[in-house]
Structure 1
Amino acid sequence: MYGWMLLYFIINCLVAQALGHLIAILTMGDFIALAIMMPGVEVLTLLLSNVATPIRRLHYIFQFLANFAPIRFGLEAILLLQYGFDRCGRKEVQKILLKLKMEDDEHEHHETYFLSTIIMLIINLIIYRLLAIILLLIKTNRYENRRKRALRIENSNQNLKPLNIIIPGLQCHHELNIKRIQV
């Protein structure tokens, strides 16, 4: 059981890291936007994670969005590891699994549901990593950045004003004396 829990924690950490990279790329270094967006995304994923309200009671759109909440699959897998896999007798049901709608005819076989949570976590990891890479490539388009930099340099060169500052020893002398020494 502990090996599976460790696997889930590692995969969840990788998915959270990918989601963090995606949010950091979206905010482009704006700390205030990042400080607002990170807790907002965390609250949204917690609301869609089958903890506050069972997923099956939500609207279909929220059920679809819950597939992209990595916390959901990690928590469901941990709950299945702790309370599932025939821990109860034949006529008994785990109360927490029943409350979260994880103990039904559809989830009769905990092994398949358990493996589907692993697959969904890996799919979330791939999706968030690919989105982060695509956004990073779009934001760091080298040709577009060169064009913007050239325009900024051109604008700054046009806005330059002559300096009327005299620094002793650095001004130009108009007299040029050339001495030739012959041996």
Structure 2
Amino acid sequence: MLIGYLQVRACLAGWRDSLKWGICVRPGMEPDQGGIMLPVLLAILGAAAGAYFAIFKTKQEKLWLERYEKTSHALIRANLISRFLHSELNGEYETHGLTPPEKKSLDTNWPMARYELEQDIVLLQLLFTESDLKEVRSAWGELQIDLFYLIEESSGHDRPEYIAKALPKSEWLEGALIEIARRRCVENVFSHLLKTLKSSAQ
């Protein structure tokens, strides 16, 4: 019984030394006879860290792509609304500069663009922080009000006034979307590219 107890103590002591010094030591075996575990442990830790950062990088790239696509879609629809309002305002003086098919396309598509833009703004709230979207949401909120009055309350004689009120809001929304795309998408890519080039040069 005593012999068995001493064997267990010796075994535990050997593994304790292994953990303490990073070497593989079995009871009755000299430390320099064991295989060195430290390089193996470092290799495992390095592989785990590499895998983690690869996954993190992939997630960051997906987030960037989602931000870029959703912001681009919102910008295209906001631009369509602006072009429609411009054509209506300039059309009062017969100077909108559009062919009949182009004008018909704007007249037909801008209501759907307004509806889809609302969905885009909602999705952007999932991808950007509240402070990032503050300007976009403010511009969109005011544009919505003016477009509602344009659709529901304007008549032939006062329609130009409603259009003139809505046009600056649509241009404001365009500018806010361009600014957030540059700041959170384009500039981030350039800064990441510069960091990659610097690290590869070192």
* TM-score, length basis structure 2: 0.33
Higher helix share: 2
**RCO higher in structure (CA 8 A, sep ≥6):** 1
**Which of these two proteins has the greater Rg computed from alpha carbons?**
2
